A and B are shown apart, each in its own frame.
Chain A
């Protein structure tokens, strides 16, 4: 009798852990983006001009996932700014004008709108601007997304790695992994949640099989006990993630229960 009770209790406990929220939806609703740090390295006391300059920068980035700090460093020739993410140096800037539009840009705003509209993710195809390299992967990407039952909720956006307007965004994407900057190949980033970019597929890895695995990852049920090891890098952007539209993936899965997977 007692054993039966224990079994029933164990079954109830396991059932209570079950969750039907999809990975992409859970991250958008619950996972706060990690913060960047913009450091100003200097060895001289601030002039009034520098104070005003840094005040303007702080004002520009105040609503983004970033903090600003001053660092006194005696062994430098001239002051500079450095952008860090998880204690990793992303970029160095010698002139404050290079920081214009650090936290916001037209393409990032467009991607955020798609995510807030309930889309599963946005696939960003980072091009080398060498057609022989870019075209094959782009064709595979479009064919795979169009053939997916989730194709309507996966916008595909092309971006040149030489884009001046999106230079900060490109730099952050190329810093998702430490060696991407030196690899001159097309790359495919899945962006989901509150602007989290998955480690990319690149070159021959931009295959139908791997793209479908990315879609599977984002449409899978929450089912395991590890939530703190979400993959990817949070892209610097303004923090306006309140009240997103309901995730469109649920409607597709309700209409096609056979697509459900764990």
Chain B
């Protein structure tokens, strides 16, 4: 699976409002 490399695609595959009101 002359030693040509595999394709790259194959190897790759392989509340806030309430909080503010209360605070104010």
Interface residues of A (CB under 8 A from B): 1, 5, 179, 183, 198-202, 204-205, 207, 209-210, 213-214, 216-217, 220, 231-232
Contacts and interface: CB of A to CB of B under 8 A. Distances in A.
Contacts of A183: 4
Interface of B: 1, 4, 6-10, 13-16, 19
A210 B19 contact: no
Nearest to B19: A1
B8 A231 contact: yes
B15 A217 contact: no
B1 A210 contact: yes
A5 B16 contact: yes
A210 B9 contact: no
A149 B14 CA distance: 19
Given A205-B1, A231-B8, A213 B15 contact: no
B16 A213 contact: no
Nearest to B23: A1
